């Protein structure tokens, strides 16, 4: 049973550096979501793909954040010019269209910006 995987699991970077995270969804799932979770809070929606199309972005996403899903399979989330406030857990989830309410989450990437 291959679930949602994320890489890396942990990332430590210095302020101002760029970082990229990868998410591999469950293979037949056409919807992919990114969430951000800060300490002591619930996850907050960042963006959503249906196949390769990015259909919605949260206002949380500044122009330093970008996400892609080029072939409708894996996705990447890039943060440019990282700030200390970007330190958080970045979670990816996937679901099957038509049964879109089921979202399966990956283990997350924990980002620490020094």
> CA-to-CA distance for 114 and 12, rounded, in angstroms?
7
Minimum CB separation from another protein for residue 47, in Å?
Answer: 9
**Pick 82 or 94: Cβ nearer another protein:** 94
Minimum CB separation from another protein for residue 31, in Å?
Answer: 7
Binding residues for another protein (CB under 8 A): 4, 6, 31, 33, 35, 40-45, 48, 50, 55-56, 91, 93, 95, 100-108, 110
SS3 state of residue 84? helix
> CA-to-CA distance for 55 and 109, rounded, in angstroms?
23
- Using only the alpha carbons of the chain, give its radius of gyration: 13
Minimum CB separation from another protein for residue 24, in Å?
Answer: 13
**Pick 46 or 113: Cβ nearer another protein:** 46
Going from the C-alpha of 102 to that of each of 20, 77, 105, the distances in angstroms are 26, 22, 10
């Amino acid at each position: 049973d291959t679930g949602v995987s994320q890489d890396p699991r942990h990332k430590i970077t210095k302020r101002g550096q760029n970082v990229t995270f990868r998410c591999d969804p469950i293979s037949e799932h056409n919807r992919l979501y990114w969430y951000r979770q800060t300490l002591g809070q619930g996850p907050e929606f960042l963006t959503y793909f249906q196949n390769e199309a990015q259909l919605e972005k949260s206002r949380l996403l500044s122009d330093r954040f970008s996400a892609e899903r080029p072939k409708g399979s894996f996705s990447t989330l890039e943060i440019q010019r990282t700030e200390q406030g970007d330190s958080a857990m970045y979670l990816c989830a996937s679901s099957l269209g038509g049964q879109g309410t089921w979202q399966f989450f990956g283990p997350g990437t924990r980002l620490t910006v020094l």
